[in-house]
Amino acid sequence: MEVPMHDTDRKNIIELRDIGQSYDGGQNWIIKGLDFLIEDKPAQGQFAVILGMSGSGKSTVLRYIAGLQQPTEGQVLISGTKADAKNRVSMVFQQYSSLPWMTVLDNVALGLKFKGVSREERNAKAMELIDLVGLKGHEKKYAQYPTLSGGQLQRVAIARSMLANPEILLMDEPFGALDIRTRLQMQELLTDIWHQFHSTVVFVTHDIREAVFLGDDIYILKSQPSRFVEHIHVDLPLQRDNNIKRDPRYEELVREVEDAMLRVADME
């Protein structure tokens, strides 16, 4: 199945057109003919998940969207204009992307500092977010391991990204390094926060259950060369908590995505 370029009258917030990537002057193409399109849904946002095997180009796609890398060929458009690092895009990486030489409070407030918001106001806003992600009482601590746990450091990174109020939030396997209990907590926390911010989230994982729990739409990358080959719409309620995992439809979707991943693996 081709990824539908579901063109409606909505404008597109993210559009990758016929992307190709070569690192050796065009002898080998790591990515070829890759299309990706996410519509803008103002005051609703959306949660797109990219699934793919290791090395399939997931992180590269996020770097294009963030304007951190230009593809060898093709176009990357954010709200209709060429992607660059000045767009309102935030990224959370797998390894703790908080700044260890700053306190939790300063980490979370950082995005507002760049925008010239007064210290008083940015600290007040940062404290709201710190409360929201369950870190109240830790705000004066340095954002470093082992002062804070891995899960707490990822909360700092998520709070900072959210407070920067990005139109697009990119998350590259952000819970990959966490133990299972913390990971499940973080998944629930993220869906909660997302409902308050309505950002467009593009979330990368190779965990199928995580993809179905979090995503509205799941896009699967095949590799060698990479392009999107499957799109699965997740028809679960938008507001979810861990109980949804007992819903038979959740299990059915997990199996559908597993089957799709196997079909993709057979193509490689």
Ligand X SMILES: Nc1ncnc2c1ncn2[C@@H]1O[C@H](COP(=O)(O)OP(=O)(O)O)[C@@H](O)[C@H]1O
Residue numbers at the binding site for ligand X (CB under 6 A): 23, 30, 52, 54-60
Distance CA 49, CA 87 (A): 20
Q: How far is the CB of 95 from Mg ion (least distance, A)?
A: 11
Pull the structure tokens for residue 193. 């926060």
Pull the structure tokens for residue 201. 């989230």
Q: How far apart are the first and last CA of the chain?
A: 15
Tell me the CA distances in angstroms from 20 to 32, 64, 79, 167, 202, one per residue in order. Answer: 4, 11, 21, 26, 20
Nearer of residues 31 and 168 to ligand X, judged by Cβ: 31
Tell me the CA distances in angstroms from 211 to 138, 139, 222, one per residue in order. Answer: 30, 31, 16
Q: How far is the CB of 64 from ligand X (least distance, A)?
A: 10
Nearer of residues 58 and 222 to Mg ion, judged by Cβ: 58
Nearer of residues 259 and 268 to ligand X, judged by Cβ: 268
Which partner, ligand X, Mg ion, none, binds residue 23 by CB below 5 to 8 Å per kind? ligand X
Site for Mg ion in 39-68 (CB under 5 A): 58-59
Nearer of residues 23 and 114 to ligand X, judged by Cβ: 23
Which partner, Mg ion, ligand X, none, binds residue 152 by CB below 5 to 8 Å per kind? none
Q: How far is the CB of 67 from ligand X (least distance, A)?
A: 16
Q: What is the DSSP letter of 246?
A: G
Q: How far is the CB of 66 from ligand X (least distance, A)?
A: 13
Which partner, Mg ion, ligand X, none, binds residue 57 by CB below 5 to 8 Å per kind? ligand X
8 Å CB contact between 149 and 127 = no
Nearer of residues 252 and 268 to ligand X, judged by Cβ: 268
Give the count of beta carbons closer than 10 Å to the beta carbon of residue 234: 22
**Closest listed residue to residue 154, CA positions, set 124, 118, 193, 125:** 193
91: CB partners within 8 A, 6+ apart: 62, 66, 97, 161, 169, 170, 171, 172
Which partner, Mg ion, ligand X, none, binds residue 30 by CB below 5 to 8 Å per kind? ligand X
Site for Mg ion in 212-241 (CB under 5 A): none
Q: How far is the CB of 70 from ligand X (least distance, A)?
A: 12
Q: How far is the CB of 197 from Mg ion (least distance, A)?
A: 24
Contact residues: Mg ion, CB under 5 A = 58-59
